[in-house]
Amino acid sequence: MESRSTRIALGFEMRKTSAGAYRHASSDHFVTIHTGAPVRISCMPTGERCVRSRGEINVLPAGVTEDWFEDDASEMLFLQLPTSLVRLAAEELGLDPDRAGIAARCHVRDVQIEHIGWALAADQRAPSGLVYRESLGMALAVHLLARHPAKAAPRGLSKSQLARVTEYIEAHLAEDVSLLRLARVAGVSASHLRALFKRSVGVPVHEYVIQRRVERARVLLARGDQPASEIALEAGFSHQSHMARCMRRVLGVTPAFIAKTFRE
């Protein structure tokens, strides 16, 4: 079983590279601190050129891919922050670890990050122990979340709220589903439910209800053991024509086409 120390260990490497093309892609977060002579850099695919100087810092969040070309040899400190360490730091700050993130940064100056980097470099020569390295790792993760936070994505319903709302809709499709009732199920106001539901699902709540009614009707029509008029009411439509209009709009076919297709 993976230990807590392993999960929050801050990786450290002194790296020297030669001129050439490089790509970074990782499921962990990385911070690089340039420690050598100035290096000419070309960012790809834009071709934008710049010079990386001693002390400049790049922050590469987990999941971000970067491509660049170095015209010169380079020296830098590589600090690797496991995603589990950043999640733990977010919890320490009282943030939602599923939403808190670190922003990408290129060629910035940050004295605190530099201090942590050099402290880790010194610790490689004269180790101070696991607690010290963990403390530096937590300090770096907390600083990045506080000083370089990723722009928060628009908030939607939580997983539990969305599950309650969608389960309620499925259980009450044959009824006149009320927005106010759905809001109570989610524990938010009706106006908030409209916005949060669309952010979570991608469609307004009333359109989602129609889509689910159409799907319920499609399944019942395919079984072929009920008349279309009964299926319309059971799926929550006001009448058979209403079901046909919605089905044509959502699926592009009529109820008769579905029933015929599954009988053949």
Domain spans, the chain: 4-147, 159-263
Fold of 159-263: Arc Repressor Mutant, subunit A (1.10.10)
Q: Torsions phi, psi of 79, nearest 5?
A: -115, 125
Burial class (CB in 10 A: 0-12, 13-18, 19+), 246: buried
Domain 4-147: CATH architecture, name and number where available: Sandwich (2.60)
| Range 112-136 average pLDDT | 89
pLDDT digits (tens, 9 = 90+) for 204-230: 999 999 999 999 999 999 888 889 999
Q: What is the mean pLDDT of the chain?
A: 88
Distance CA 113, CA 26 (A): 20
Q: Which is more confidently placed, 154 or 9?
A: 9
pLDDT digits (tens, 9 = 90+) for 167-187: 999 999 999 989 999 999 999
Band (165; pLDDT cuts 50, 70, 90) = very high
How many other CB atoms are found less than 10 A from the CB of residue 43?
14
Q: Which two tokens stand for residue 214?
A: 């159409």
How many other CB atoms are found less than 10 A from the CB of residue 82?
20
pLDDT digits (tens, 9 = 90+) for 230-239: 999 999 999 9
Among 206, 96, 205, smallest CA distance to 155 is for 96
Q: What is the DSSP string of 43-103?
A: EETT--EEEE-TT-EEEE-TT--EEEEESS-EEEEEEEE-HHHHHHHHHHTT--TTT--B-
Band (6; pLDDT cuts 50, 70, 90) = very low
* DSSP 8-class letter at 188: S
pLDDT of residue 2 exceeding 50, the answer is no
